[in-house]
Amino acid sequence: MASTEAIDVMPIDADQCEAVWPLSVEAGWNQNVADWRFMLGAGRGFGCSGAGGKWQASALVLPLGRQLAWISMVLVTRERRRGGLGTALLKHCIDEVTSAGAVAGLDATEQGRPIYLPLGFRDLYKISRWHVDRVQHAVLPPPAGTRLRPGVPADLPRLALYDRPLTGMERPAILAHLALRQPGRAWIAEDAAGKISGFVLGREGRAATSLGPVVADSEAIALPLIAKAAASAPGPFIIDVPEAHRAVRAWLEAQGAITPRDYMRMTLGEAERLDDPSHVFALAGPELG
């Protein structure tokens, strides 16, 4: 297996977003150029290039506060796979995170999990990625005493304060980016006193609209939020749901959704509250945490 020292690891800057995007296209992933631009600007990208300067591999570290960082976008073009390049970049990212005294988190595919386990990562919970072409029953009433309304920029500080204790992530920049990028997908649930009890955000992707994150006090609040965001514009949609949320699963199945892929949320070390998905009904995405 190649070592990090044997590979010329270079930073990937945000102005390289269009040049590195073909790596995720080749892999069949849903990110678009706007996703890459945000991730490379908010985080730290690393990669290797070949002849002509074409990017052949990538990996990314996205800080989620001082104590947690997300590793994602570990991609290697077909002609360079099985040579240790992806593992070397992964280890480079792990070193970046641990040297800062933070915990590394990631969402592993079934193929990636056997690589992460020997490196010390542990399982937190399983996630199912659902694909649905269109939502047939989009109107779901919220619980009594709860109202849904469109999110506005002035809500962003309150959203970040609501999100942090329920998810264990400090991600105001991510929430702001998603809310401002696709304002029609941003919906907020409030109680009678105006206190936030849930929210949903979304973003357009290369092949489908991604719904999430969805964070809420209960599943009864989360489901109407998901339905509202889905009804805001045509599909197709993808949504990443922790397996524990059976009512969300049943609703998605009723819409004709299928789940061809599962992920495992994993961490290298202990991250407070990250192992509890009871208020996380959909992820921002494996690349965003």
Distance CA 224, CA 5 (A): 51
pLDDT the model gives residue 52: 76
DSSP 5-70: GGS--EEE-GGGHHHHHHHHHHTT----HHHHHHHHHHSEEEEEE-GGG-EEEEEEEEE-SSSEEE
Distance CA 158, CA 149 (A): 15
Q: Could you name the CATH architecture of 128-282?
A: 3-Layer(aba) Sandwich (3.40)
Summarised one tens digit per residue, pLDDT across range 152-194 is: 999 999 999 999 999 999 999 999 999 999 999 999 999 999 9
| Residue ranges per structural domain of the chain | 4-101, 128-282
Summarised one tens digit per residue, pLDDT across range 75-98 is: 999 988 877 899 999 999 999 999
pLDDT the model gives residue 79: 85
Summarised one tens digit per residue, pLDDT across range 210-232 is: 999 999 999 999 999 999 999 88
Least confident segment among 19-28, 39-48, 50-59, 176-185 = 50-59
> Which phi and psi (to 5°) does residue 89 adopt?
-65, -40
The CATH number of domain 4-101, selected from 3.40.630.30, 3.30.1330.90, 3.40.50.2300, 3.30.379.10: 3.40.630.30
Whether 4-101 shares its CATH topology with 128-282 is answered: yes
Summarised one tens digit per residue, pLDDT across range 256-267 is: 999 988 999 999
For residue 37, pLDDT over 70 is answered with yes
For residue 148, pLDDT over 70 is answered with yes
Distance CA 172, CA 70 (A): 15
